[in-house]
Structure 1
């Protein structure tokens, strides 16, 4: 008699494998990570690992594709729930910063490792990415009062993604600024320029960094 698979247990184990693999890929790169290392990080045998994924390529495809599909779902939700272009853009910025906070390893796989995948998988994943970028571009054009096909919409969307994507190379967890505060700062900066950024409440009562007073007195 065939063994009945426990859906909750299977899905939980699969999610654990994807999370650990994403962390390894983010730290070492797709090419520098072996399936033996993934199995060890997950605390499972290699045979068990292959019960959930076919190979390393399949693992990277699932990480990148599920992540970008989640981002597209966030876009659809925001566009549905906010009436004005300004509210939609602000919500998109805050929502993406929050998503990246939870899935920064998967985001690095999406941005850095998709190039190692087969052409048909690349095209499918990049196709979703393009829809996400297009939604940002249209919203930016609407905020500017321009046609949806504005020539500035996409370049400005890519500049915005540049701010968000690189945030995790310098932001350290556990400091005064959390992801919600950063999301507000990015929205303020993008909407109003340098003078529009407000000091987050967490920084108002924070102790000055070592050496900052000496530097200010010079």
Structure 2
């Protein structure tokens, strides 16, 4: 149900997708749909939360492995682009629509997104401590993630490059610019 909703929200927008349309797409009537999902916002939250929580768990696993700084950054970038390639609709919804969330749901997603940014900052700081990367402005993390995240708009699975190849290209350009 979540992937069907993500496809609809990615195509029509969160606000442009009605609950009746969602119910038809998943084969449930309005009453059954509300029974299973609670609200349309709950579906948006599930879509947004699942992907950012997945990337946080992935980053935590990598950070626990004590990788060299450049390899850590490379694996984080590859993991993110693989996830975006596999869940493009979900990421489109996340990036375009998470601001429609309210209250605790919105707070949770924003906190999770900030935690993920923190893992990237930690990876860069590890490289500075190891003297393989130079100190960079804190804002650079947003730029790096923007470069990687933006691929949800144009990356096509089965295209000329794999997610790992795109990640490596981006990381090579980045690391050459910040190598100590």
TM-score of Structure 1 vs Structure 2, range by shorter chain? 0.7 to 0.9
Q: What is the CA distance between 1:64 and its match in structure 2?
A: 0.9
Q: What is the CA distance between 1:178 and its match in structure 2?
A: 2.1
- The runs of 5 or more residues in structure 2 that have no matched partner are none
Question: 1-side partners of 2:109 and 2:152: how far apart?
Answer: 22
Question: 1-side partners of 2:67 and 2:162: how far apart?
Answer: 27
Question: 1-side partners of 2:88 and 2:157: how far apart?
Answer: 12
Aligned length: 175
Question: 2-side partners of 1:88 and 1:175: how far apart?
Answer: 26
The answer as to 2:63 corresponding to 1:79 is yes
SS of residue paired to 1:110: helix
Residues 48 and 93 of structure 2 are in contact (CA less than 8 Å); yes or no, is this contact kept in structure 1?
Answer: yes
* 1:3-61 alpha-carbon deviations (Å, 9 max, x no partner): xxxxxxxxxxxxxx100101111111111111111122223333332232001011111
Residues 37 and 43 of structure 2 are in contact (CA less than 8 Å); yes or no, is this contact kept in structure 1?
Answer: yes
The answer as to 2:34 corresponding to 1:50 is yes
Aligned mate of 1:41, from 25, 34, 53? 25
The answer as to 2:84 corresponding to 1:100 is yes
Q: CA RMSD in A?
A: 2.1
Question: 2-side partners of 1:100 and 1:128: how far apart?
Answer: 17
SS of residue paired to 1:113: helix
Residues 137 and 153 of structure 1 are in contact (CA less than 8 Å); yes or no, is this contact kept in structure 2?
Answer: no
What residue in structure 2 maps to residue 166 of structure 1? 150
Provide runs of 4+ in structure 1 moved above 4 Å.
Answer: none
- The runs of 5 or more residues in structure 1 that have no matched partner are 1-16, 194-218
* 1:70-109 alpha-carbon deviations (Å, 9 max, x no partner): 1110111111124322221111111111111111222222
Query: CA 1:121–1:146 in 2, change beyond 3 Å: closer, same or farther?
Result: farther
SS of residue paired to 2:138: helix
> TM-score w.r.t. structure 1 length?
0.73
Residues 138 and 153 of structure 1 are in contact (CA less than 8 Å); yes or no, is this contact kept in structure 2?
Answer: no
Query: CA 1:131–1:146 in 2, change beyond 3 Å: closer, same or farther?
Result: farther
Question: 2-side partners of 1:185 and 1:44: how far apart?
Answer: 44
> TM-score w.r.t. structure 2 length?
0.87
